[in-house]
Chains A and B, each alone.
Chain A
Amino acid sequence: MGQQHDAYFVPAKSTWPFVAAVVMFITVFGAAHWLNAEPGDAGFGKTVLSVGVIGVLGMFFGWFRSVINESLAGSYNHQVDTSFRMGMMWFIFSEVMFFGAFFGALFYIRMFSVPWLGGHGHGVLTHQFLWSDYAAAWGANGGNGPEQAGGAFRTVPAWGLPLLNTLILLTSSVTVTIAHHALRAGHRGRILLFLGLTVLLGATFLYFQAHEYIEAYKELNLTLHSGVYGSTFFLLTGFHGLHVTLGTIMLAVIWLRVLKGHFNKEHHFGFEAVAWYWHFVDVVWLGLFMFVYIL
Chain B
Amino acid sequence: MSYAATHDQHDDHHGAPKSFFQRWFMSTNHKDIGTLYLIFSLTMFFIGGSFAMLIRAELFKPGMQLMQPYFFNELTTMHALIMIFGAIMPAFVGLGNWMIPLMVGAPDMALPRMNNLSFWILPFAFLLMLSTLFLPGGGPAGGWTMYPPLALQTDSLAYVVFAIHLMGISSIMGAINIIATILNMRAPGMDLLKMPVFVWSWLITAFLLIAVMPVLAGAVTMLLTDKYFGTNFFNPGGGGDPVLYQHIFWFFGHPEVYIMILPAFGIISEIVPTFARKPIFGYKAMVFAIACIAFLSFIVWAHHMFAVGLPLGAEIFFMYATMLISVPTGVKVFNWVATMWGGSMTFETPMLFALAFIILFTIGGFSGLMLALVPADFQYHDTYFVVAHFHYVLVTGALFAIIGSAYYWMPKWTGHMYNEFWGKVHFWNSVIWVNVLFFPQHFLGLAGMPRRIPDYNVAFANFNMISSIGGFLFGATQLIFVGVVIHCVFFSKKKATDRVWEGAKGLEWTVPSPAPHHTFEVPPVINDDELAHGHVND
Q: Are A17 and B180 in contact (CB-based, < 8 A)?
A: no
Complex contact B116–A36 (CB within 8 A): no
Q: Are A87 and B111 in contact (CB under 8 A)?
A: yes
Instruction: Name A's interface SS.
Output: helix
B239 contacts A25, CB within 8 Å? no
- Min C-beta distance of A233 to chain B, whole Å: 10
Q: Indicate if the CB atoms of A66 and B159 lie closer than 8 Å.
A: no
Within residues 435 to 484 of chain B, which ones have a CB less than 8 A from any CB in chain A? Answer: none
Q: Is B9 an interface residue (CB 8 A)?
A: yes
- Select one of B121, B161, B184, B248 contacting A101, CB under 8 A: B248
- Asked if residues A24 and B121 are in contact (CB atoms below 8 Å), the reply is yes
B238 touches A145 (CB 8 A): yes
User: Contact between A15 and B231 (Cβ–Cβ < 8 Å)?
Assistant: no
Docked complex Cα distance between A36 and B243 (Å):
26
Is A97 within 8 A of B214, CB to CB?
A: yes
Q: Is B113 an interface residue (CB 8 A)?
A: yes
Known: A86-B180, A87-B114, A105-B248. A12 touches B6 (CB 8 A): yes
A83 and B222 alpha carbons, distance in the complex (Å): 33
Once the chains are docked, how many angstroms separate the CA of A228 from the CA of B235?
Answer: 8
> Which residue of chain A is the closest to B22 with respect to CB atoms?
A13
Q: A66-B3, A97-B210, A101-B215 are in contact. Are A112 and B241 (CB under 8 A)?
A: yes
Question: A2 to B9, alpha carbons, bound, how many Å?
Answer: 6
A120 vs chain B, min Cβ distance (A): 11
Q: Is the CB of B120 within 8 A of A108?
A: no
B215/A98 in contact, CB under 8 A = yes
The interface residues of chain B lying within 8 Å CB-to-CB of A2 are 9-10, 13
Sampled A-B contacts (25; CB under 8 Å): A2-B13, A8-B108, A11-B9, A12-B12, A17-B117, A24-B121, A28-B165, A36-B158, A69-B6, A86-B180, A90-B176, A93-B211, A94-B211, A101-B215, A108-B247, A113-B240, A114-B239, A117-B239, A144-B239, A224-B229, A227-B232, A228-B235, A229-B239, A230-B232, A235-B225
Residues of B within 8 A of A (CB): 1-3, 5-6, 8-10, 12-13, 17, 22, 25-28, 106-108, 110-114, 116-117, 120-121, 123-125, 127-128, 135, 137, 155-156, 158-159, 161-163, 165-166, 169, 172, 175-177, 179-180, 183-185, 210-215, 217-219, 221-222, 224-226, 228-233, 235-241, 243-244, 247-248, 251, 309-311, 518, 520-523
- Which residues from chain A sit less than 8 Å from chain B, CB to CB? 1-3, 6-8, 10-18, 20-22, 24-25, 28-29, 31-32, 35-36, 62, 65-66, 69-70, 73, 75, 79, 82-84, 86-87, 90-91, 93-95, 97-98, 100-102, 104-105, 108-109, 112-114, 116-117, 121-122, 126, 130, 142-147, 149-150, 224-225, 227-232, 234-235
